[in-house]
Amino acid sequence: MSKKWEIYKTDEKKIEQIMKENNLNRLLATVLANRNITEHEQIRVFLEPKRSDFYDPYLMPDMNKAVERLLKAIDEKQKVIIYGDYDVDGITSVTVLKSFLKERGLIVDEYIPNRLEEGYGLNKQAVKAIADQNYDLMITVDCGISAIDEVKYANELGIEVIITDHHEPCDTLPEALAVVDAKRKDNIYPCRNLAGVGVVFKLIQAISQKLGLEEKEYLKYLDIVCVGTISDIVPLTDENRVIVKLGLKLVQQTKNIGLRTILMMCAYGKVDSTAISFGVAPRINACGRMGHQEDALKIFLSQDEDEVSILANKLEEYNKQRQETEKNIYSEALEKINKNGIDKNSVMIIDGENWHHGVIGIVASKITELYFKPSILLCSEDDGICKGSGRSIPGFDLHDALTKCNKVLDKFGGHAMAIGLTVRKENLEILREELDKIAEEQEISKIVPIINIDGVIELKDINKDVVKSLDELEPFGEENKKPLFIVKNLKIDSIRALSEGKHIKLTLRGENNLVISAIGFNMGHLAEDYRIGDKIDVVGNLEINTFNGEENLQILLKDTMKSI
């Protein structure tokens, strides 16, 4: 599918100002201007944040109430439980809060629901089990903001509740002692986009300040907070960037045995946001996806090298199971799409027998990426109920579309780009028709993928120092993607497919006989589209490829087109 290339409109005066005031090269200044990071102090915080750049935690709603109640629990040695979530954000949230409170002399337990049996968030059965064990206080992390009925039920059973969450609230808040969430309508906290573990970090910061503790007592958890923040794909801007930029420094020398062991197992040459996103996060998430969430928590909390080693091997095995399961479902889904012509629909709905609930969301993402169409994958149960996950494309609000189809749905939730749903088998065809009608009315076929490009660059302006300077923009992630550049009118000197035709490797020649290598992952089809001698324009990331001790400039391709 052809993609639309959109280049940021550069303000040359602003770029010159950024270069002069901050002693930066043009490429770096251009990217900062494109990100609307233009003022000197703003640039300083973005490139070199300090611990003093954290906001006052007491600006967050109900923070003082939460702190006072927790201090009471600490003073009176009350029975406290943390209710978390099974993904990386939830696991790291429990790890940080449990560890911090333990150091304050409060022994706390935790409850993490099983994804396959209980699903996300609070449920009444779990609340009842907690009440039966006579807990005085329950603290939610990374969940709870929409648990109106469950919190009411907890209150009826005599459990007091503190909610810490980062999801959007409903019109009515749960009747908890404190609801700490920067997305509340009455929020004045400057950063609304903290991860769940980010909110927990602010809570332990607030407790530390109240107790007059040294900063190191909460800052030492930034490695774990950093992992949860990167993994939850929140915008890596504002305070999230401060957390991750400082946190990565701790990750590189982490004292957490579990995290250190996982990093070693991932074998990434460089410990950065990529190592967390594609190495650590999938292994932790695999535990929850495969129904073993307790092992993910144990590996972060354990102080025993032997236990951590055993757990790390388990995580590796869960991840392999997840990958194999995902691969099989993906293959079956593609077969169903091709056999039944599902790709002709504006919204692709694919259902299968015995598909694993924990991985169908990942497969839906891959289907959507492949066809650039919204997709919903459903697992058909024996009782005629189908449960599944959906992913959308920019410009089409899948949650809003499902809202218009709610009469044929048993349950659904999520947001514009990702949803979960339950629907009866007999209503599937109606759902397909209604979603297709909505998508066609919104002219979804006219939506094309857009590549946002930081600028046009010539080969003569690319050197190792300039490319290395772009590392200052790390950590990369949501709302701070790796910068993309166009290099035009390059002649193909060599072209070959790699990995049985899956990837592509090229040598490209520009003006003055300057040569650069380029590699395109999952772009093996280009070997059929182009020939040696063709002139092309390319879009990609500039990087330095190290092989056998040698460093060479390289373009990581994102798209190509023949030069005009």
- Residues 314-341, mean pLDDT to the nearest whole number: 95
* The domain boundary residue, chosen from 397, 419, 446: 446
- Residues 467-475, mean pLDDT to the nearest whole number: 93
Omega prior to 374 cis, within 30 of 0: no
Exposure string of 456-471, with b = 16+ CB inside 10 Å and e = fewer, is: ebebeebeeebbeebe
Q: What confidence score (pLDDT) does residue 398 get?
A: 93
Clarify whether residues 346 and 301 are in a common domain.
no
* The domain boundary residue, chosen from 392, 413, 446: 446
**556 domain-assigned:** yes
Clarify whether residues 485 and 382 are in a common domain.
no
Clarify whether residues 493 and 428 are in a common domain.
no
Q: Please, which pLDDT band fits residue 450 given cuts at 50, 70 and 90?
A: very high
**Dist. CA 386–CA 223, nearest whole Å:** 39
Q: What is the pLDDT of residues 45-68, one digit of tens each?
A: 999 999 999 999 999 999 999 999
**307 domain-assigned:** yes
Sheet containing 108-111: give its strands across. 108-111, 80-83, 137-141, 160-164, 178-180
- Residues 421-444, mean pLDDT to the nearest whole number: 94
Clarify whether residues 237 and 94 are in a common domain.
yes
**29 domain-assigned:** no
Answer whether residue 161 shows pLDDT above 90.
yes
The residue segments making up the domain with residue 109 are 57-313
**Dist. CA 117–CA 288, nearest whole Å:** 11
pTM of the shown model: 0.90
**334 domain-assigned:** no
Q: What confidence score (pLDDT) does residue 1 get?
A: 64
Answer whether residue 457 shows pLDDT above 70.
yes
Tally of domains within the chain? 3
Clarify whether residues 499 and 436 are in a common domain.
no
- Residues 334-356, mean pLDDT to the nearest whole number: 94
Q: What is the pLDDT of residues 7-58, one digit of tens each?
A: 999 889 999 999 999 999 999 999 999 999 999 999 999 999 999 999 999 9
Answer whether residue 518 shows pLDDT above 70.
yes
Tokens of 335: 């077969």
Residue 79 CB-half CA count within 13 A: 9
**Dist. CA 209–CA 207, nearest whole Å:** 5
**378 domain-assigned:** yes
**8 domain-assigned:** no
Answer whether residue 420 shows pLDDT above 90.
no
Domain of 354: which CATH number? 3.10.310.30
Domain of 294: which CATH number? 3.90.1640.30
* The domain boundary residue, chosen from 446, 471, 505: 446
Q: What is the 3-state secondary structure of 454-492? A: CEECCHHHCCHHHHHHHHHHCCCECCECCCCEEEEEEEE
**300 domain-assigned:** yes
Q: Please, which pLDDT band fits residue 381 given cuts at 50, 70 and 90?
A: confident
CA 214 → CA 84, 205, 218, 422, distances in Å?
27, 10, 8, 49
**381 domain-assigned:** yes
Q: What is the pLDDT of residues 166-209, one digit of tens each?
A: 988 888 999 999 999 999 999 999 999 999 999 999 999 999 99
Clarify whether residues 474 and 420 are in a common domain.
no
Q: What confidence score (pLDDT) does residue 31 get?
A: 95
- What value, to the nearest 5°, has the Cα angle with vertex 527 and ends 524 and 530? 135
Q: What is the mean pLDDT of the chain?
A: 93
Percent of the chain with pLDDT over 90: 84
Clarify whether residues 279 and 418 are in a common domain.
no
